[in-house]
Amino acid sequence: MTPFEYVSVLLSMVVSLALAHLLIGITKIIKAGVSRWSIPLIGWIGVMIFLCIDYWFSIWAARNDPVWSLGFVCFLLVLGAVLFVGCWMIMPEFDGKEPVDLATHYAAIRRKFLIGLFAFVVLGQLGKPCPRGLSIDNHQVAWSRADRTHRHGVDPRIATRAARCRSSHVRSNYLVRRELHSRLVAGTTSGAVWYSETEFK
C-alpha cells in the first residue's frame, strides 16, 4: 500500500461526510418545504458542493508523491476539516416536520460561515509554497502550476476575489446588505465554473 492510498482513506472520509451532510440537508429541505427562501444561502450550498468535489480531485493530484511528510498530511487534514465545518454550518438543522426558514438561518450564520470560507481560501494559498514531501537528501519535489492548483483546490484568481470580499466583509454595512451577499455568491459561482472549465479539461 502506498502512502497516498493509506492517507487518502482518512481524507476521503472527511470530505465524504461533508458532502453527505449537504445532500441529506437538501433532501430534508425538499421534503419539508421552505417558508422563506434565501438566494445567497442556496448559492453558497452549491459552492460548498463544488469545493467538496474539487478537494477530492486535489487529493488525487498528489497521488504520485513518493514521500508524504507528517506536516503535509496534517495540512490536508486541517484543510478538509475547515471544509467539513463550513458544510455543516451552511446547512440548517431542523427536524423536517415543518417548513424551514432559510433566510433566518442564513442571517444567523453568515458571519461565521464567511470567516470559515476565507480561512479555507487562505489555507489553500499558504500551502502552495510548501513541499509535498522530502526525500532523504532533502530534495524538494517539483510540481507544475496546474498541479498545485488542483492539489489545493484554490485558483489564484478565485482566492483574490475571496480576499477582496473578505475586506468588504469586515464592514458592518456589508454584513447586513442582502444584495451584496447575492453578488458575492454570483461572483464566486462564476469563478468556480470558470475554474472547473479551464482546469478539469
pLDDT value, residue 188: 73
pLDDT value, residue 61: 81
Please give, one letter per residue, the 3-state secondary structure of 152-192: HCCCHHHHHHHHHHHHHHCCHHHHHCHHHHHHHHHHHHHHH
What's the full length of the chain, in residues?
Answer: 201
pLDDT, tens digit only, all 201 positions of the chain: 788 889 999 999 999 999 999 999 999 999 999 999 999 999 999 999 999 998 998 888 888 877 788 888 999 999 999 999 999 999 999 887 889 999 999 999 999 999 999 999 888 877 654 444 433 233 333 333 444 444 445 444 444 444 444 444 333 333 444 555 566 667 777 776 665 556 555
152, three cell numbers: 489545493
Query: What secondary structure does DSSP assign to 17-78, as a single string?
Result: HHHHHHHHHHHHHHHH-EEE--HHHHHHHHHHHHHHHHHHHHHHTTTT-S---HHHHHHHHH
Residues 6+ apart with CB under 8 A from 103: 36, 37, 38, 41
If you compute the radius of gyration of the chain from its CA atoms, what whole number of angstroms results? 18
pLDDT value, residue 178: 53
Provide the terminal-to-terminal Cα distance of the chain, rounded to the nearest Å: 29
pLDDT value, residue 144: 38
pLDDT value, residue 79: 94
**Torsion angle, CA of 104/106/112/118, rounded to 10 degrees?**
-170
pLDDT value, residue 139: 33
CB 56 within 8 A of CB 121: no
CB 118 within 8 A of CB 169: yes
